[in-house]
Amino acid sequence: MAKTEFKSESKRLLDLMINSIYTHKEIFLREIISNASDAIDKLYYISLTDQNVGLNKDDFKIHIEIDKPNRIITVSDNGIGMDKDDLDNNLGTIANSGSFKFKQENEKNDDVDIIGQFGVGFYSAFMVASEITVETKKYNCPTAYRWNSSGVDGYEITEIEKDTVGTKIILKIKEDTENEKYSEYLEKYKISALVTKYSDYIRYPIIMEMEHRKLREDCDLEHPEYDEVKEDEVLNSMVPIWQRSKKDVTDDEYNEFYKQKFFDFENPAKVFSNSVEGIVTFKSLLYIPSKVPFDYYTKEYKKGLQLYSSGVLIMDKCPDLLPEHFAFVKGVVDSQDLSLNISREMLQHDRQLKNIAGTLEKKIKNELASWLKNDREAYEKFYANFGRQLKYGLVADYGAHKDVVKDLVLFYSSTEKKLVTLKEYTERMAEDQKEIYFATGESIENIDKLPQTEYFRDKNKEILYCPEEIDEFAFQSMGDYNDKKFKNIVNEDIEEEAQPNDENKNDDSTLKFIKDILGDKVQEVVFSKKLKSHPVCLTAKGGVSFEMEKYMSMAQPEARVKAERVLEINASHPAVNALIANITADKDKAEKYAKLLYSQAVIIAGLQLEDPSEYADLVCSLMN
Ligand code: ADP
């Protein structure tokens, strides 16, 4: 009998499929099973009004059989079945060429993993099978057919004898090669694991005969005896945990599900489930881990939620469902409004996904906000793990998401000596304070000792200590919080009138003297308005802070981003007075004092001395 050729597009996709070194080969089973489930759905629907079907809901089943010696997997269903036209139209061509077009358009982009994301249905079986046979009988059709194909050169359809309505998909599994192993698909434990992984929540039982040891009845329990028995086992649990009503699921069940599904040893820090009905209807079950995944702050970490369509896993990690700032969230989304087949209007998919993602972002935000409000301690633990990620949300996309995260971030307060929110800070602000003060530095302890923070502490003004690089970027991209601007007090001048130190401060010649000695090392030397007990400090002018300089020199050394250094001197400090006195009395000594004070300022600012040994010599020469 002459072979019928596949339609040309199908042929090319088949070629792609057969020769793909595609890593997710295992999804073939998911595709075959969900086709079976769809077919059962159709016949079940008919059976509701048509007595002749003769089947009740409980009669619908999917069977898997494995014939290891002959390398055959058979998946049978008692669904609607196919007639000759169906076989020609459905298995002879790709139902809708959309998926293929999508693949072609994105061929250059390896990231677009269309097969893994949405599957290409039946054809994916050619990734693992060298030959596929379909035996099928359609409901209300007198004839049954066999469809057979070994790949690109086409397929044959013949009439066969088959009593029962439904479809049998018979896969002849490929032989192993050096690089590709297929034999594992002939292992029952593997197939059973794949069903649990991808098709656990298919609403009809997926049955396979399993062998296990069974305790022999009436045997002496001191010397137990076992029989090897074969029993049909249902592989799937059929009801997803997220479909059950919250009150029927125990904390333990939620936690166990999390640990199994997301490979964590510890219970999650937070569980929340949602049922949303609207433009897109979906259910979600989300978790926040209690520990930072080991690869979290690396490129290896892939964010995303498991995406199901009516209980069938479409995608293991759908990144589009989570914004970057909530990348730590794990969980499951299930929507009946998503179709399994990407070919059905890609755009529509996109819109639905965006809608779900938008709703989820709001849900997560609200959940975190109420956590912060109601259990501060637990929230702070979470924050220690993932706070950096939230702050990332303030910076990303030029601050486009700041409203989502601004009330979820915490900073260490100089007066409260603990983490506070920006809201708490601004609510405490004195009426005459116009700006939110923050100070950047190496660590909380370090910032606390900066000469620049002393003045504010003495005046009992609250400062947010920012030891993380991202903090300063975060404030910059936020611009303000509830109309209060941010001010880095390490760098910027304070608005308050200068403390009248003494007459020295009008003496420009002192400043000029020091500037001449330091040369290019500093942009400027000024009398400080904020120094109290310290003689000098170094501040940065022109928008680039020292923390940014440090960060940029690591992240982008070639950009050579440098902070403009300003040396502030405290005109009423004895050390500075000694310097000033020596400008006329002993110029050589005055020069050494100037260099020494500058070096101290550099060290306190947490920067590297240009020449440490010169500094050491300087100290020694002054001790002599
Ligand atoms: P999709 O299921 O996404 O439409 P597939 O390539 O997986 O694409 O399947 C093509 C078509 O073949 C299905 O839409 C269905 O009409 C038919 N089909 C596949 N498997 C079965 C089955 N087990 N029973 C009945 N029809 C089937």
Cα 464 to Cα 438: distance, rounded to the nearest angstrom? 4
Helix (H, G, I), strand (E, B) or coil at 300: coil
Longest dimension (CA), the chain: 118
Round to whole Å and give the CA distance between 365 and 295: 24
Residues 167 and 256 in one domain: no
Rounded Cα gap, residues 204 and 68, in angstroms: 25
Q: Are residues 418 and 449 in the same domain?
A: yes
Nearest CA to ligand 1 atom 5: 121
Question: Are 417 and 368 members of one domain?
Answer: no
Q: Is residue 554 part of a domain?
A: no
The alpha carbon of 18 is separated from its chain's Cα centroid by a whole number of angstroms, namely: 32
Out of 98-112, 254-268, 319-333, 521-535, least confident range: 98-112
Task: Kindly tell me the sign of the dihedral angle through the C-alpha atoms of 240, 243, 248, 253.
Answer: positive
Whether 77 lines ligand 1, by a CB cut-off of 6 Å, is yes
Residues 484 and 346 in one domain: no
Mean pLDDT (the chain) is 85
Closest CA to 525 of 576, 571, 566: 566
Predicted confidence (pLDDT) at residue 398 exceeds the cutoff of 90: no
Each residue's pLDDT tens digit, 234-248? 999 888 889 888 898
The single-letter code of the amino acid at 571 is: A
Mark residue 608 as left, alpha or beta (left: phi above 0; alpha: psi -120 to 50; beta: remaining): beta
**Residue span of the structural domain in which 451 resides:** 410-488
Among 42, 122, 309, the mutation site with the greatest number of ligand 1 atoms within 8 A of its Cβ is 122
Whether the per-residue pLDDT at 11 is higher than 70: the answer is: no
The CATH number of the domain holding residue 595 is 1.20.120.790
Residues 298, 320, single domain; the answer is: yes
470-528 pLDDT, tens digit each: 898 899 889 999 999 999 888 776 655 445 455 555 678 889 999 999 999 999 999 98
Q: What is the pLDDT of residue 548?
A: 79
Same domain for 262 and 228, yes or no, is no
Domain annotation covers residue 327: yes
Q: Is residue 146 helix, strand or coil? A: strand
Burial of 523 (0-12, 13-18, 19+ CB in 10 A): middle
Residue nearest to atom 13 of ligand 1 (CA): 90
Same domain for 434 and 330?
no
Which residue from 400, 407, 283, 378 is spatially nearest to 334, judged by alpha carbons?
283
Quick one: 282 and 183 in the same domain? no
Position with higher pLDDT, 458 vs 332: 332
Look at residue 203 and tell me whether its pLDDT is greater than 90: no
Nearest CA owner, ligand 1 atom 27: 35
CA-proximal residue: ligand 1, atom 1 (nearest):
121
Establish whether residue 167 lines the binding site of ligand 1, counting it when its CB lies within 6 angstroms of any ligand atom.
Answer: yes
Query: Using an 8 Å Cβ cutoff, are 237 and 261 in contact?
Result: no
Q: Is the CB of 372 under 6 A from ligand 1?
A: no
38 C-alpha vs ligand 1 centroid, how far in Å? 8
Residue with CA nearest ligand 1 atom 16: 90
The rounded distance, in Å, linking the Cα atoms of 473 and 476 is 5
How remote is the CA of residue 49 from the centroid of ligand 1, in Å? 23
Q: Residue 36: CB within 6 Å of ligand 1?
A: yes
- For residue 79, the ligand 1 atom closest to its alpha carbon is 24
- One domain, residues 572 and 480: no
Q: What is the mean pLDDT of residues 337-366?
A: 75
How far apart are the CA of 397 and the centre of ligand 1, in A?
Answer: 42
Domain membership of residue 551 (yes or no) is no
Write down the pLDDT at residue 13. Answer: 66
What pLDDT score was predicted for residue 157? Answer: 95
Mutational pocket test of ligand 1: of 62, 80, 90, the residue with most ligand atoms within 8 Å of the beta carbon: 90
Atom of ligand 1 nearest to the CA of 80: 25
The count of structural domains within the chain is: 4
**Same domain for 245 and 228?**
no
Q: Is the pLDDT of residue 321 over 80?
A: yes
For the chain, percent of residues with pLDDT exceeding 70: 88
Q: Answer whether 95 contacts ligand 1 (Cβ < 6 A).
A: yes
Question: Residue 386's pLDDT is what?
Answer: 96
CATH number at residue 210: 3.30.565.10
Q: Which residues pair with 232 in a beta bridge?
A: 209
Give me the pLDDT at residue 505, please. Answer: 59
H/E segment holding residue 285: strand 282-288
Q: Cα separation of 76 and 135, whole Å?
A: 9
Q: Pick the last residue of a domain from 234, 264, 293.
A: 234
Centre of ligand 1 from the C-alpha of residue 35, in Å: 5
pLDDT greater at residue 178 or residue 105? 178
Spatial separation of the C-alpha atoms in residues 365 and 367, rounded to whole Å: 5
Q: Which residue reads 């938008």 in tokens?
A: 358
Q: What is the domain-level CATH number for residue 458?
A: 3.40.50.11260
pTM for this model (two decimals):
0.67
Alpha carbon of 460 to ligand 1 centroid (Å) = 72
Per-residue HEC secondary structure of 27-95 comes to HHHHHHHHHHHHHHHHHHHHHCCCHHHCCCHHHCCEEEEEECCCCEEEEEECCCCCCHHHHHHHHCCCC
The count of C-alpha atoms lying within 13 angstroms of the C-alpha of 233, restricted to the half-sphere facing its C-beta, is 15
Tell me if 188 is assigned to some domain: yes
119 compared with 317, residue with greater pLDDT: 317
Q: What is the pLDDT of residues 228-287, one digit of tens each?
A: 899 999 999 888 889 888 898 899 889 988 987 887 889 999 999 999 998 889 999 999
Q: What is the pLDDT at residue 502?
A: 53
DSSP states of 471-490 as a string? HHHHHHHH-EETTEEEEETT
Please report the pLDDT score of residue 334 as a whole number: 92
Q: What is the mean pLDDT of residues 157-185?
A: 95
Confidence label for 353 from pLDDT (cuts 50, 70 and 90): confident
Assess whether 253 and 306 both reside in one domain.
yes
- Residue identifier of the C-alpha nearest atom 3 of ligand 1: 341
Q: Do residues 55 and 151 share a domain?
A: yes
Give the pLDDT score at 99: 41
Q: Whose CA is nearest to atom 20 of ligand 1?
A: 35
Residue 83 CB–ligand 1 contact under 6 Å: no
204 lines ligand 1 (CB under 6 A): no
| pLDDT value at 550 more than 60 | yes
> For the chain, how many helices (H) and strands (E)?
19, 22
| 7-21, 103-117, 220-234: least confidently modelled range | 103-117
pLDDT at residue 92 tops 80 = no
Residues 166 and 78: their CA atoms lie apart, in Å, by: 4
